Amino acid sequence: MQRLIPVLNKDHVPLHLISVINTLLTAAKEISHRLHQGSLAGTLGSTLDENIQGETQKKLDVVSNQLIKNMLLETNLVRAVASEEEDDIVEGNPDAKYLVAYDPLDGSSNIDINGSVGTIFSILEVPDHPAEGKDMFLQTGDEQVAAGYILYGPSAMLALTTGQGVRMYTLDHTVGEFLLTVDQVKVPKDTREFAINMSNSRFWNKPIQSYIADLIQGEEGPRKKRFNMRWNAAMVSDVHRVLCRGGLFTYPADCRNKKKPCKLRLLYEANPMSYLVEQAGGRCSTGYERIMSLQPTDIHERVSVIMGSSNEVEVCLDYHKKIPCDRFDV
C-alpha cells in the first residue's frame, strides 16, 4: 500500500504544503492514541470552561486544540491558525505562506460514550492582497488549497483533497503511517439515506420540514421509495458515510436562537467538507447558495448545510425554490 507523501509527490503538491499536511497527521496520531486510551489517559469528561461558541469544552477538545496549534506553529510554515476553540486567530511565522483553519475534535459530545469523533481542517494560502489578522482567513471555499478530516473510529482514517479528487488513507499502527486504501472516492448520484437531527424539526423552516416529511412517508409518499435515516451527532462521521456510500447530510437553520440560527461553522466545517464532497462528485448548498462561493465575514461565521449525493441535493433544493421560507432567510 502507498504511503501519503509519495502519493502527494506524484500529484505535484508543493513540498511545504505536504509538510503542513504531515504535521496535522502527526498531531492526529497523538489524538488517536489518547482517544484509544479512553479513561486510562485521564482525558475524558468536561472542563469548567466554554469556548467562543458558548459550548462547554471537553478535556480532549482542549488537548487536541493545543496539540494541533503548537505543532503547526512550530513548523514555521504557517502564518496563522484559526480554531473552533480559539476566540481569535493565533499568529505564527509572519513570512509563512499557509493559513490553517480547523475543528480539533468535531463531535466531542461523543467522546464519553466511545462514539466516533474527528478532526476537520482547511488550508488556505495567505492572500496576495493586503490583509492582516482575521481578514487573512476571510476567503471563499474555492480558494482552499487542501482540506480533509481524520475520523477516529474503529480505525483512524484520513480523507484528503488537494483539488485532484478525494483519497482515503487508514492509519496502520504497526508502521505509524497513513496508507492509501481508497484511491478515488466517488459519491453516488442517488441515495436512499439521509442524516439530520430530527429533534429540531419543529424549529425548521417550511422547505426543509416539507422535504423531510416526504422522505419519511417512503413508498406511500410523493418520492415513492423508502429512505433510511442515519445520525451520528458528529459531522465528520456523517459526512464520511456520505463519501463512502452516498446519502444526504443536512444541518439546516432553525429558530431556537434567532441570533444564531445555524450550527455549523463556515471556515472550518462547511467549507472543507464541501471541498471534499464536491471533489468526490457530490453537491453542497445552504439551500439557496453554493457553500464554497460564500464570502465569509467572520472566522466563526455559521451557515446552513445541505450536502451529499448530487441528485438528492437537487431534489432538496427544489423544495427551497418552491416553498417560501417562513421564519428566516438563511
Asked whether residue 293 is marked as a ligand-binding residue, the answer is no
For residue 48, pLDDT over 50 is answered with no
Q: How confident is the model at residue 129 (pLDDT cuts 50, 70, 90)?
A: confident
For residue 180, pLDDT over 60 is answered with yes
Instruction: Give the pLDDT confidence of 205-261 residue by residue, as tens digits.
Output: 999 999 999 999 999 999 999 999 999 999 999 999 999 999 999 999 998 887 888
Asked whether residue 84 is marked as a ligand-binding residue, the answer is yes
Asked whether residue 143 is marked as a ligand-binding residue, the answer is no
Contacts of 159-167 with C-beta under 8 Å, sequence gap 24+, read 159/185, 159/240, 159/243, 159/276, 160/4, 160/21, 161/275, 161/276, 161/279, 162/8, 162/11, 162/13, 162/17, 163/279, 164/11, 164/279, 165/279, 165/280, 166/243, 166/276, 166/279, 166/280, 167/7
The per-residue pLDDT of the chain, averaged, comes to 92
Asked whether residue 218 is marked as a ligand-binding residue, the answer is no
pLDDT at 109: 82
At the topology level of CATH, where does 4-182 sit? Answer: Fructose-1,6-Bisphosphatase; Chain A, domain 1 (3.30.540)
pLDDT at 112: 80
Listed in order, the ranges of the chain carrying CATH 3.30.540.10 are 4-182
Least confident of 142-146, 303-307, 320-324: 320-324
User: Which residues touch 104 (CB under 8 Å, ≥6 apart)?
Assistant: 31, 61, 64, 65, 67, 68, 83, 84, 85, 119
Strands 98-106 and 78-83, by their bridges, are parallel
pLDDT at 3: 94
Listed in order, the ranges of the chain carrying CATH 3.40.190.80 are 193-322
Asked whether residue 106 is marked as a ligand-binding residue, the answer is yes
Asked whether residue 263 is marked as a ligand-binding residue, the answer is yes
Give the CATH number of domain 193-322: 3.40.190.80
Instruction: Give the pLDDT confidence of 22-41 residue by residue, as tens digits.
Output: 999 999 999 999 888 877 66
Asked whether residue 197 is marked as a ligand-binding residue, the answer is yes
Asked whether residue 274 is marked as a ligand-binding residue, the answer is no
Q: Is the pTM of this model over 0.85?
A: yes
